[in-house]
Amino acid sequence: MSLAFLIEQLLNGLQFGVMLFLMAAGLTLVFGVMGLINLAHGSLFMIGAFFCSWIGEVSGSFWVGLGGGLLAAALAGAVIEIVVIRRLYDRDHLDQVLATFALILILSEVTRWIFGDQPLYLDVPPLLAGALPLPGGGGYPIYRLAIIVVGLATAYGLYLLITRTRLGMRIRAGESDREMIGALGVDIRTLYTAIFALGAALAGLAGGMVGVLQSVQVGMGEPVLILAFVVIVIGGIGSVKGALVGSILVGLTDTLGRVFLPRLFALMLPTAEATAVGSALASVTIYLLMAAILVWRPRGLFPVGA
Amino acid sequence: MTNGLSREQVVNGSLLALLLAAPLIAAALDEPFYVSLATRVAILALAGVGLNLALGYGGMVSFGHAAFFGLGGYVAGIAAFHAFEESAFLTWPFTIGGSDQLLVVWTVTALVVALVALAIGAVSLRTSGVYFIMITLAFAQMIYYLAISLPTYGGEDGLSIYLRNQLPMGDSAEPLTFFFVCYGLLLLALFVSARLVASRFGAALQCARMNEVRLATLGIAPFPVKLTAFVLSAVITGIAGALFADLNGFVGPSMLSWHRSGEIMIFVILGGVGRLFGPLAGAALFILLESFVGGFTDRWQLILGAVLLAVVLFARGGLIGLLAGKLRHG
């Protein structure tokens, strides 16, 4: 095993983690401020990916497509919040789960209606084509590096937004006492819509960027959504910092587990069995990680408002 | 009650009678499709009765009951697979072969599901609220991926059951006989649930849903009560899964998927949360909508989503609530 291979896998894990962060950040913000569990977040990811590839194809520019996908997801998020989600803030979690599950069914079917059953594909934008050489030979796709950079920049931007701006101040105030900031004259309805749309935009951004790496199809948001749940459970629901740490942890564990567990078992078992046992175990490592962390800390690594 | 029967009891009795009459009439008219449809209703209602115990009475919003449903299915499938191949499931430390007997399959299902539910419940019940929802979902997903990574048992393609598992007497391959088996188990589960809810244990469970601190002050630790109910709920759903695999002659990862968890939850909600017969009403409504709406449009999921959204937002008592009036608190 070469150094280049190790670096490549570490970067893959980081890229996956950063992508998960974009999803988890929106989920955790919405839960932290509005106390809402939103299963339909994966559908916003899907909407971002579909609009990115569609607008990208029509306009001929990936960048226009990415912007369009992000806007479409934000817009869809705002509309969903105003029409449905708003009615759920005072309900219990069971109602929220069911209503947002219903939204998934509706959004998936409408997307299938508009875009058809065929998966769409996106090309790597020419600016980011090619690979960066790694020490010891081989190369790493620049596009994946770009995702890491965009993800980390977004995390930093989110940090600045929450700690340095007026909107961020209101978000923090909303997290600690919802009723009070309403009483202080902040238009809480608009604030909620804005936060929901922000989370949706992040999901749309993730969807658009991932559309290049995988096929764009209905249901693509669901595996990512469940991993994002694992991330925020590990990080502590409501904590953006926890979401960042959790997503990098999950991204690295999952990627490295898939690569190295079969090899590890190959030291002890015949190849065929080692591959079978290793890959079976690799598919469950992150859930075992989650269980272990919960036994240790039932409210996640960075518990919010204990 | 002066006349002895409440409106809800009349509704419940009619539901049971309808479910029994439908396949009999269908069999008399030689329409095997409707017999199998009624069998599906009975099986899915059984799965819902299981979830209702945890969700409706215990307030544990498990979003991972597909794990138990699918495990039951895989026990049935794997037992039939080894019985058909005449191979062994395990050769060390002792030999375990396959089986084509329903009674054996159900016993093993109950044991396996109880063990898994005990492990999942022990970790998940350390948390509550939204954590519990997400963790049960995540564990179910873990079992889903585990099933996909097992090439011996079909991996992503699933496993066919060539010969339906058999009864000690009667022919389980006969559609009407198999319906009676499922119907009988549904009645049994409803009876057990009713007795359980009315018992001391049931009172403790419902108190744990409303106020855990109060239950603890009464000298009853909430955790064992909830864990017991969770395991029992999982076992009932697991048996339903074993029946479902035998009905379809097939078990695959789709039985474990989180859409399935959502569906089982939908049965409970459509029918009415915390109503004994809610899951039966919900499953019947779901299957009827699916087969008749699905008959004339491909967009059945869209309709289902809209109906579900409307029920959650505007009709919280579900179908039983609509027919029998609001839940009374005595």
Task: Please write the tens of the pLDDT for every residue from A74-107.
Answer: 999 999 999 999 999 888 888 999 999 999 999 9
Mean pLDDT, residues B235-251: 95
For residue A283, the chain B residues in CB contact (below 8 A) are: 142, 145-146, 148-149
Average pLDDT, chain A: 89
Residue A301, CB half-sphere, CA atoms under 13 Å: how many? 18
> What is the four-CA torsion angle of B119, B121, B126, B129, rounded to 10 degrees?
150
Could you give the C-alpha distances from B163 to B85, B160, B177, in angstroms and in order? Answer: 12, 9, 15
Size of interface A-B (CB pairs under 8 A): 114
Residue of B nearest to A227 (CA): B138
Which carries the bigger pLDDT value, residue B90 or residue A44? A44
Cα Rg of chain A (Å, integer): 20
**From the CA of A289, how many Å to the nearest CA of chain B?**
11
- Is the predicted pLDDT of residue A8 greater than 60, yes or no? yes
**Contact with chain A for residue B266, Cβ under 8 A:** yes
Pick from B130, B139, B305: CB nearest A237: B130
**From the CA of B122, how many Å to the nearest CA of chain A?**
10
- Is the predicted pLDDT of residue A305 greater than 70, yes or no? no
For residue A295, the chain B residues in CB contact (below 8 A) are: 123, 126
Closest CA to A218 of A110, A84, A73, A298: A110
For residue A229, the chain B residues in CB contact (below 8 A) are: 134, 137-138
Under 8 Å between Cβ of B318 and A111: no
- Kindly report, residue by residue over B77-100, the tens digit of the pLDDT: 999 888 888 887 777 677 777 788
Interface test with B, best of A108, A283, A289 (most B CBs within 10 A): A283
- Is the predicted pLDDT of residue A2 greater than 80, yes or no? no
**pLDDT band, residue A67 (cuts 50/70/90):** very high
- Kindly report, residue by residue over B274-286, the tens digit of the pLDDT: 789 999 999 999 9
Structure tokens given for A280: 């079976």
For residue A109, the chain B residues in CB contact (below 8 A) are: 299, 301-302, 305
Note whether B133 contacts A290, CB cutoff 8 Å. Answer: no
- Is the predicted pLDDT of residue A306 greater than 80, yes or no? no
pLDDT of the residue at A296: 87
Which carries the bigger pLDDT value, residue A194 or residue A181? A194
- Is the predicted pLDDT of residue B326 greater than 50, yes or no? yes
Instruction: Among A181-190, A215-224, B175-184, name the one with the lowest average pLDDT.
Output: A181-190
- Is the predicted pLDDT of residue B315 greater than 80, yes or no? no
Under 8 Å between Cβ of B155 and B148: yes
- The answer for residues whose C-beta is within 8 angstroms of residue B54's C-beta and 6 or more apart is B60, B62, B65, B229, B230, B233, B234
Rounded to an integer, what distance in angstroms lies between the CA atom of residue A202 and that of residue A207?
9
**pLDDT band, residue B328 (cuts 50/70/90):** low
pLDDT of the residue at A70: 95
> What is the four-CA torsion angle of A257, A261, A262, A268, rounded to 10 degrees?
180
Task: Please tell me what DSSP assigns to residue B251.
Answer: E
- Kindly report, residue by residue over B244-263, the tens digit of the pLDDT: 999 999 999 999 999 999 99
- The answer for residues whose C-beta is within 8 angstroms of residue A210's C-beta and 6 or more apart is A19, A45, A49, A147, A224
Note whether B312 contacts A104, CB cutoff 8 Å. Answer: no
Mean pLDDT, residues A190-208: 94
Query: Tokens 């699918």, residue?
Result: B70
Note whether A97 contacts B61, CB cutoff 8 Å. Answer: yes
Chain A residues contacting B via beta carbons under 8 Å: 31, 37, 84, 87, 93-95, 97-99, 101-106, 108-110, 113, 222, 226, 229-230, 232-233, 237, 276, 279-280, 283-284, 287-288, 290-291, 294-295, 298-299
Residue of A nearest to B129 (CA): A93
pLDDT of the residue at A251: 94
Mean pLDDT, residues B288-292: 87
* Runs of H (alpha helix) within chain A: 3-34, 41-59, 62-83, 93-115, 142-164, 166-176, 178-183, 188-210, 221-235, 240-266, 271-282, 285-296
Task: Spell out the long-range contacts of B29-37 with Cβ–Cβ below 8 A and sequence spacing 24 or more.
Answer: B32/B175, B35/B175, B35/B176, B35/B179, B36/B175, B36/B247, B37/B287, B37/B291
Under 8 Å between Cβ of B24 and B167: no
- Is the predicted pLDDT of residue B330 greater than 50, yes or no? no
**From the CA of B100, how many Å to the nearest CA of chain A?**
27
- Is the predicted pLDDT of residue A261 greater than 80, yes or no? yes
- Is the predicted pLDDT of residue A243 greater than 60, yes or no? yes
Mean pLDDT, residues A229-244: 90
Instruction: Among A62-76, B16-30, B60-74, B77-91, name the one with the lowest average pLDDT.
Output: B77-91
pLDDT of the residue at B181: 93
Q: Check whether the bond before A133 is cis (ω within 30° of 0).
A: no
Q: Is B171 helix (H, G, I), strand (E, B) or coil?
A: coil
Residue of B nearest to A278 (CA): B149
**From the CA of B211, how many Å to the nearest CA of chain A?**
15
Mean pLDDT, residues B190-199: 94
Rounded to an integer, what distance in angstroms lies between the CA atom of residue B236 and that of residue A250?
33
For residue A276, the chain B residues in CB contact (below 8 A) are: 149, 151
Note whether B127 contacts A101, CB cutoff 8 Å. Answer: no
Mean pLDDT, residues A15-44: 92
Note whether B135 contacts A104, CB cutoff 8 Å. Answer: no
Query: Tokens 């007026």, residue?
Result: A166
ipTM: 0.87
**From the CA of B15, how many Å to the nearest CA of chain A?**
25
Note whether B265 contacts A98, CB cutoff 8 Å. Answer: yes
- Kindly report, residue by residue over A115-164, the tens digit of the pLDDT: 988 888 888 888 888 888 877 777 888 999 999 999 999 999 999 998 89
Residue A168, number of CB atoms within 10 A of its CB:
15
Under 8 Å between Cβ of B207 and B214: yes
Which carries the bigger pLDDT value, residue B155 or residue B116? B116
Q: Which amino acid is at B228?
A: T
Q: Is B179 helix (H, G, I), strand (E, B) or coil?
A: helix
**pLDDT band, residue B3 (cuts 50/70/90):** low
Mean pLDDT, residues B131-149: 90
Task: Please tell me what DSSP assigns to residue B53.
Answer: I
Burial B161-191 (b: 16+ CB within 10 A, else e): beebbbbeeeebeebbebbbbbbebbeebbe
pLDDT cut 70: percent of chain B above it: 96
**pLDDT band, residue B4 (cuts 50/70/90):** low
Q: Which amino acid is at B53?
A: L
**Contact with chain A for residue B249, Cβ under 8 A:** no
For residue A106, the chain B residues in CB contact (below 8 A) are: 301-302, 305-306, 309
Average pLDDT, chain B: 89
**pLDDT band, residue A202 (cuts 50/70/90):** very high
